[in-house]
């Protein structure tokens, strides 16, 4: 289960408005705002979680990253561009 603080924090990390997150998750803006207040009865938090994880958020459980720490989140780093692999080098892509 994700917490209201994690939802608010994840949305802030990504720079999403409540409307943006609503559109991404298929929920209404009112449902997103209610979840951020901790009013989760009847709200599909799984859809919120999937929308945020799909944009690079990693949710951490209590103590998962640091013994004694509470729940948190992290932003996954985008994959690094490794350039052209040596076996694919040729005069056609010589810059």
pLDDT (0 to 100) of residue 80: 65
Cβ 89 vs Cβ 42: under 8 Å: no
φ and ψ of 43, to 5 deg: -100, 135
Mean pLDDT by 10 residues, the chain (95 residues): 93 96 97 96 95 95 76 82 75 74
Q: How far apart, in Å, do the first and last CA atoms of the chain sit?
A: 50
Structure tokens at 46: 């799984």
Kindly report, residue by residue over 24-42, the tens digit of the pLDDT. Answer: 999 999 999 999 999 999 9
pLDDT (0 to 100) of residue 79: 67
Number of neighbours of residue 65 by Cβ within 10 angstroms: 13
pLDDT (0 to 100) of residue 38: 95
pLDDT (0 to 100) of residue 53: 96
Q: What is the CATH number of domain 4-75?
A: 1.10.260.40
């Amino acid at each position: 289960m994700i917490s209201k603080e994690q939802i608010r924090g994840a949305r802030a990390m990504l720079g999403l408005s409540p409307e943006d997150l609503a559109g991404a998750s298929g929920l209404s803006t009112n449902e997103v705002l209610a979840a951020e207040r901790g009013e989760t009865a009847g709200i599909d938090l799984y859809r919120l979680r999937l929308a945020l994880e799909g944009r690079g958020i990693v949710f951490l459980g209590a103590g998962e990253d640091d013994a004694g720490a509470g729940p948190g989140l992290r932003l996954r780093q985008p994959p690094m561009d490794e350039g052209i692999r040596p076996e694919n080098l040729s005069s056609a892509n010589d810059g």
